[in-house]
Amino acid sequence: MTSANDPAFRAALEGLELVDHPALLRQKSRDFYWYSPILKRELDGKAAELIVVPRSVDEVVRTSASCARFGVPLVVRGGATGNYGQMVPLEGGVLLDMARLDRTLSIDAGRGRFEAGVRLGDADAQAQQHGWELRMFPSTRRQATVGGYVCGGAAGVGSIRYGQLRDSGVVSALKVVTCESEPRVVELRGPDIGKALHAYGTTGIVVEVELALAPSYPWVEMVAAFDDFATAAHFAQALGESDGIFLKLVSLMAWPLPSYFRGLDGALPEGRHVVMIMVAAANALAVRDLASERGGAITLERPYAEQAGQVPIYEYTWNHTTLQALKVDKTVTYLQTLFPLGANVEALVDSHEMFGEEVMAHAEFQRRQGRTNCSSLQVVRYRSDERLREIVRGLETLGIRLSNPHSYILEDKGARVLSADLQLAFKREADPQGLLNPGKMSRWTAA
Ligand SMILES: Cc1cc2nc3c(=O)[nH]c(=O)nc-3n(C[C@H](O)[C@H](O)[C@H](O)COP(=O)(O)OP(=O)(O)OC[C@H]3O[C@@H](n4cnc5c(N)ncnc54)[C@H](O)[C@@H]3O)c2cc1C
């Protein structure tokens, strides 16, 4: 592969916005991989040689064509909130920063079309002006981009009602630029969306995303506290299964996880396990009733609003839970796991009993295959790589499967990668030299 410092390559990019200050190259080439002591060892110091900031699809095409003609690697950067070094360039080259492709193109009849660099918070706010909202967003709503979410994310706030990003109907279309000397601009729809969805930008550069939207609701944030973990877990499941209660978020955290959280004074009683909830305002009373029936106490109830000085409750959930813990204790790390459908609560309670406070239970309830299930981002008191592997083996005996957050390899995410064959075949035609995010797709590397 050719270096992005090659003078002829630089000349080919003349007129584009380029950044090559070493401090910026280092800073912009990082995501949140440092959650993992293993990835930190592997990825610290890796950086692009040049950042290109395109302002239009034509400029993306020009950059991609130049990379293909000169053989320079190209990695796309959205908001850089990935957790596994997905956007960390392993082989130098160009980092394509999508920040200026930030136009909302249309919001109409329950669909929104956005350039890939639009931040999810802006996309959501734009949709709300038309009576719609995003069906789901990651807890990084404020920083992450639409393109980064569909290329690197999986689910999030809203998944308790609308399922996973990969569920048919959630993403309606992707416009993708290939990495060839004469790049093509391809519109992917239907099953073809899988060619680029959750592919870490290894199969194409996503320049536009069309998403199905949901009707906008006024939401209420609530916290329910319980003395006993099993009772809290059964409440969370029962709430998720209550079809009449319109939910956006159901997150369960075992004590002592809440002891790491700042900014929710009074809502997190000492020693209690909590369920964090976002519910349509009209159903807040129904949540109160269910919590009281199940022995819980509501310790917080307030309208959801994005406003200065107030941390939205979702920023304690999903992978913000680990971040909140890391702010207080730099020695913790995490796991990411999937639970057996129909037996998830039992597995959750058993895992809590198996490891106690060493593996702090945290579950995100969501719809999977039409049923209420959970996945987990357990916060772990890290001792060694070997102990981490032992914990994983222990969880596996309970039917809990790892979606390995300590690897940057696409295929190590288990069930998330549904379209591996489709993606490999598409990469052969869209990126024949293997220049897009090299080293992340193990099937390609092996081939
Ligand atoms: C605190 C925290 C909380 C999180 N919560 C969630 C959550 O609730 N749900 C969830 O699913 N994830 C979550 N994540 C992971 C991450 O935020 C999401 O995956 C997010 O959507 C990534 O968006 P981004 O714009 O930051 O993408 P980036 O990190 O910039 O990129 C992600 C991947 O996509 C590629 N990429 C980015 N843009 C494009 C493009 N336009 N074309 C092609 N490839 C592209 C990158 O090369 C990289 O491989 C969380 C992470 C953190 C740190």
What is the Å distance from ligand 1's center to 248 Cα? Answer: 20
Q: Which atom of ligand 1 is nearest to the CA of 101?
A: 41
The band of 314, judged by pLDDT with boundaries at 50, 70 and 90, is: very high
How far apart, in whole angstroms, are the C-alpha atoms of residue 18 and residue 99? 13
At 418 the pLDDT is: 61
Quickly count: other Cβ atoms within 10 Å of residue 212's Cβ: 15
Length of the chain: 447
> Is pLDDT of 445 > 90?
no
At 433 the pLDDT is: 97
Residues 165-187: pLDDT tens digits? 999 999 999 999 999 999 999 99
At 219 the pLDDT is: 98
Residue with CA nearest ligand 1 atom 28: 80
Residues 175-226: pLDDT tens digits? 999 999 999 999 999 999 999 999 999 999 999 999 999 999 999 999 999 9
Tokens of 312: 């939205």
Burial of 71 (0-12, 13-18, 19+ CB in 10 A): middle
Residues 236-266: pLDDT tens digits? 999 999 999 999 999 999 999 999 999 998 9
Task: Enumerate residues 6+ apart whose C-beta is below 8 A from 89.
Answer: 29, 46, 47, 48, 73, 75, 95, 437
Please, are residues 39 and 85 in contact by the beta-carbon 8 Å criterion?
yes
Domain boundaries, the chain: 100-215, 219-303+337-402
> Is pLDDT of 416 > 70?
no
The band of 414, judged by pLDDT with boundaries at 50, 70 and 90, is: low
Residues 336-369: pLDDT tens digits? 999 999 999 999 999 999 999 999 999 999 999 9
Residue with CA nearest ligand 1 atom 9: 138
What is the Å distance from ligand 1's center to 131 Cα? Answer: 26
Residue with CA nearest ligand 1 atom 21: 149
Q: Which atom of ligand 1 is nearest to the CA of 119?
A: 25
Residues 115-134: pLDDT tens digits? 999 999 999 999 999 999 99
| Residue in the structure block whose two tokens are 């099937």 | 443
Residues 44-85: pLDDT tens digits? 999 999 999 999 999 999 999 999 999 999 999 999 999 999
The band of 25, judged by pLDDT with boundaries at 50, 70 and 90, is: very high
Mean pLDDT for all residues in the chain: 96
With CA atoms as reference, report the closest residue to 358 among 392, 405, 397. 392
With CA atoms as reference, report the closest residue to 2 among 433, 441, 443, 356. 433
Please, are residues 175 and 187 in contact by the beta-carbon 8 Å criterion?
yes
Q: List all residues whose CB is within 6 A of at least one atom of ligand 1.
A: 31-32, 75-83, 86-87, 98, 116, 138-140, 144-145, 147-149, 151-156, 200-201, 205-206, 318-320, 323, 437
Q: Give the single-character DSSP code of 368.
A: E
Mean pLDDT of 19-24: 97
Give the rounded distance of the alpha carbon of 236 from its chain centre. Answer: 22
Which residues are paired to 251 by β-bridges? 276, 364
> Is pLDDT of 417 > 70?
no
Instruction: Output the CA–CA distances (angstroms, integers) from residue 360 to 174, 332, 376, 396, 398, in the order listed.
Output: 38, 10, 10, 16, 16
Question: Which CATH code fits 100-215?
Answer: 3.30.465.10
Radius of gyration of the chain (CA): 22
Mean pLDDT of 377-381: 96
φ, ψ of residue 132 in degrees (nearest 5): -120, 170
Instruction: Output the CA–CA distances (angstroms, integers) from residue 158 to 246, 248, 400, in the order listed.
Output: 10, 4, 23
Mutate to test the pocket of ligand 1, among 81, 96, 119, 249 (most ligand atoms within 8 A of CB): 81
What is the Å distance from ligand 1's center to 432 Cα? Answer: 25
Give the rounded distance of the alpha carbon of 111 from its chain centre. Answer: 21
The band of 321, judged by pLDDT with boundaries at 50, 70 and 90, is: very high
Q: Global pTM?
A: 0.97
At 309 the pLDDT is: 87
At 318 the pLDDT is: 98
What is the Å distance from ligand 1's center to 394 Cα? Answer: 29
φ, ψ of residue 445 in degrees (nearest 5): -60, -45
Burial of 368 (0-12, 13-18, 19+ CB in 10 A): buried
At 420 the pLDDT is: 80
Q: Give the single-character DSSP code of 317.
A: S
What is the Å distance from ligand 1's center to 319 Cα? Answer: 11
> Is pLDDT of 333 > 60?
yes
Give the pairing type, strands 273-280 and 379-381: unpaired
Please, are residues 245 and 239 in contact by the beta-carbon 8 Å criterion?
yes
Buried b (16+ CB within 10 A) or exposed e, 230-244: bebbbbbbebbebee
| Dihedral-angle region of residue 134 (phi above 0 means left; psi in -120 to 50 means alpha; beta otherwise) | beta
